[in-house]
């Protein structure tokens, strides 16, 4: 049974004639008569008696007609609110990002906002896995895959890291340009408390002769300390290469090049604003792809736009 069948019953009951019901439904009378008889045959019950004065509901019809009437009224109510539904759809999409991914988006602010077309983004600082079930966050950008099948990951690019130092520091410490940099140079590292960059910290621990002299849990602070001449550090190549005070000392490090994903709950990916935000973010990462992956030291490094 479907609503198309019940519409025949409802129209016939209201109009009390096959011709009137056919006109109400904008179909021919023979077509309505055939469909109504076919429906009666399928359910095994006659719903109307054909009398000289019109259609008269049978006992079976009297049981079904009120239900068909209710369904028509609900369908009409749904049709009335359809034009307003777009106004109540989600317009603000909250994206959980750390400072590095936020920097990617803000570096291409005009491109990003031009693609959103009325959808607003809120960038929420977070280095932890957010609870998508609570719906307090619609999207998250991170480099690890979700651990539950209720979440979907969309690959949007890669993010590479390399070693950097200030031009002044490198000029005073020639070892910075050699593999001896891990033994002879001062290093800046990552704070172990509430660690936000565990892979980078482990990478340094396996190479440095001693603990870094200065540590921070934000890449922006590390970049600023490095630019001031405090020592060497690991930085995302798109940040380091765009800082004119820094010198890149290594190729992009393959072991620290991560695939970036947008994480979204299965149910929310059907929301138009969420799909639009995901497409816009993916386009920004695609546009930034060469900067995010880093060029070879033998190639010219493009300055950030």
Q: Bridge-partner residues for 215, per DSSP?
A: 189
Q: What is the pLDDT of residue 300?
A: 47
Count of C-beta atoms within a 10 Å radius of residue 94: 18
Provide CB contacts within 8 A for 220, sequence distance 6+: 99, 103
The token pair that represents 250 in the structure block:
């290594």
Give the separation between CA 70 and CA 73, rounded to whole angstroms: 5
Given a cut of 80, whether residue 304 has pLDDT beyond it is no
pLDDT tens profile 77-106: 877 766 555 554 568 889 989 889 999 999
Given a cut of 50, whether residue 29 has pLDDT beyond it is yes
pLDDT tens profile 252-266: 999 999 899 999 988
Give the separation between CA 226 and CA 209, rounded to whole angstroms: 19
**Beta strands at 139-142 and 161-166: parallel, antiparallel or unpaired:** unpaired
Rounded to an integer, the average pLDDT of 38-56 is 91
- The CA distances from residue 41 to 44, 84, 183, in Å, are 5, 40, 89
The DSSP-derived string for 239-279 is: HHHH-TTEEE-S---GGG-EEEEEEEETTGGGSHHHHHHHH
pLDDT tens profile 104-131: 999 999 999 899 888 888 898 876 666 6
Q: What is the pLDDT of residue 26?
A: 83
Instruction: Indicate whether this model's pTM tops 0.85.
Output: no
């Amino acid at each position: 049974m479907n609503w198309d069948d019940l519409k025949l019953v409802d129209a016939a009951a209201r109009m009390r004639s096959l011709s009137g019901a056919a006109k109400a439904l904008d179909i021919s009378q023979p077509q309505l008569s055939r469909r109504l008889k076919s429906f009666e045959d399928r359910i095994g019950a006659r719903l109307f008696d054909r009398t000289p004065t019109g259609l008269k509901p049978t006992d079976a019809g009297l049981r079904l007609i009120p239900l068909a009437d209710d369904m028509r009224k609900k369908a009409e109510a749904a049709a009335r609110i359809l034009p307003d539904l777009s106004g109540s759809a989600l317009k603000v999409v909250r994206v959980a990002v750390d400072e590095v991914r936020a920097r990617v988006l803000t570096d291409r602010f005009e491109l990003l906002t031009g693609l959103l077309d009325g959808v607003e983004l809120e960038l929420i600082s977070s280095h932890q896995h957010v609870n998508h079930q609570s719906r307090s966050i619609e999207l998250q950008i991170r480099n690890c895959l979700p651990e539950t099948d209720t979440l979907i990951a969309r690959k949007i690019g890669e993010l590479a890291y390399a070693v950097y130092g200030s031009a002044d520091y490198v000029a005073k410490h020639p070892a910075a340009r050699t593999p001896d940099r891990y033994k002879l140079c001062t290093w800046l590292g990552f704070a172990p408390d509430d660690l936000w960059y565990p892979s980078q910290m482990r990478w340094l621990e396996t190479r440095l002769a001693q603990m870094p002299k200065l540590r921070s849990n934000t890449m922006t602070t590390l970049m600023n300390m490095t630019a001031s001449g405090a020592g060497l550090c690991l930085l995302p190549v798109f940040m380091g290469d765009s800082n004119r005070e820094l010198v890149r000392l290594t190729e992009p490090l393959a072991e620290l090049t991560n695939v970036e994903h947008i994480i979204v709950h299965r149910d929310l990916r059907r929301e138009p604003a969420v799909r639009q935000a995901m497409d816009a973010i993916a386009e920004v990462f695609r546009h930034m792809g060469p900067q995010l992956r880093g060029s070879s030291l033998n190639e010219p490094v493009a300055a950030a736009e």
